[in-house]
């Protein structure tokens, strides 16, 4: 569960990206973060996985207060949070299998468990047959499904996705949404920043709209609400 209270974020250059945000997100929810460019969506997302620190207010994730957490504890927090980026961020020289296994090797899982879990997540994203390929041998949609597999291989409680379909065509984007829905079906919280009106209006979920650093709207089964 995520609880933000009166969260502010002012960057070093003086720009205030979040200006008093309070919100609760329960375990298992699927939430879209929408809003105009520069409104503060990525900042909101980055605060959750502690890529950025809040300038004020509290952010509690699964009972850990991110405003107080010591730097050396940040890796523990991140074990509970998988992240998916617009540009996939796969390591180009490694195979699909190695890209996913890497996330488990750094936490010193046993080789046996690594093999089992990598194959399990490849099954979830429907790409078991591509385990030996390198990222440049895959389509954009396949690469994004691999990055979802990598994000979930640790069984995180939360998956954060910042514009995961931003580089993909509309049909491929729908596939990615279906993949994220299946991850959500297993109880994982999904928080997804998006500019896709088509997706938000088609796969109805909670919609949190951020405008000028504040929450302008928070609706269950909401609409995208902006012209594109």
Ligand X SMILES: Nc1ncnc2c1ncn2[C@@H]1O[C@H](COP(=O)(O)OP(=O)(O)OP(=O)(O)O)[C@@H](O)[C@H]1O
Q: Which residues bind ligand X (CB under 6 A)?
A: 11, 13, 15, 17, 35, 37-43
Determine the Cα–Cα distance for residues 221 and 73; give it in Å rounded to an integer. Answer: 35
For ligand X, the closer of residues 122 and 208 by Cβ is 208
- Residue 44 or 97: the one with the smaller Cβ distance to ligand X is 44
Closest distance to ligand X from the beta carbon of 61 (Å): 19
CB of 165 to ligand X, least distance (A): 13
Work out how close the CB of 5 gets to ligand X at its nearest, in angstroms, rounded to a whole number: 19
* Alpha carbons 8 and 44: distance in angstroms, whole number: 10
For the stretch 109-113, contacts whose Cβ atoms lie closer than 8 Å and that sit 24 or more positions apart, written own/partner, are none
Q: Please state at what angle helix 170-185 crosses helix 111-124, rounded to 10 degrees.
A: 120
How deeply is 65 buried, as exposed, middle or buried, from its count of CB atoms within 10 A (0-12, 13-18, 19+)?
A: exposed
Residue number with CB closer to ligand X (40 or 54): 40
Q: Which of residues 82 and 213 has its CB atom nearest to ligand X in the complex?
A: 213
Smallest distance, Å, CB 87 to ligand X?
13
């Amino acid at each position: 569960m995520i609880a933000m209270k009166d969260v502010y974020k002012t960057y070093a250059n003086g720009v205030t990206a979040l200006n008093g945000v309070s919100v609760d997100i329960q375990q298992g929810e699927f939430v879209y973060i929408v809003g105009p460019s520069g409104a503060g969506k990525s900042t909101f997302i980055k605060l959750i996985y502690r890529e950025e620190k809040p300038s004020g207010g509290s952010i509690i994730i699964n009972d850990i207060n991110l405003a107080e957490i010591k730097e050396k504890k940040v890796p523990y927090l991140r074990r509970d949070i998988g992240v998916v980026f617009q540009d996939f961020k796969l390591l180009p020289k490694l195979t699909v299998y190695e890209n996913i296994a890497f996330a488990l090797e750094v936490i010193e899982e046993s080789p046996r468990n690594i093999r089992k879990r990598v194959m399990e997540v490849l099954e979830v994203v429907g790409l078991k047959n591509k385990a030996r390929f390198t990222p440049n041998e895959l389509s954009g949609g396949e690469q994004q499904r691999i990055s979802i597999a990598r994000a979930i291989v640790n069984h995180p409680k939360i998956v954060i996705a910042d514009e995961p379909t931003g580089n993909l065509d509309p049909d491929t984007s729908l596939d990615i949404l279906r993949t994220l829905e299946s991850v959500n079906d297993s109880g994982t919280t999904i928080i997804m920043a998006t500019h896709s009106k088509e997706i938000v209006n088609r796969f109805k979920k909670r919609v949190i709209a951020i405008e000028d650093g504040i929450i302008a709207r928070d609706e269950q089964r909401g609409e995208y609400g902006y012209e594109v």
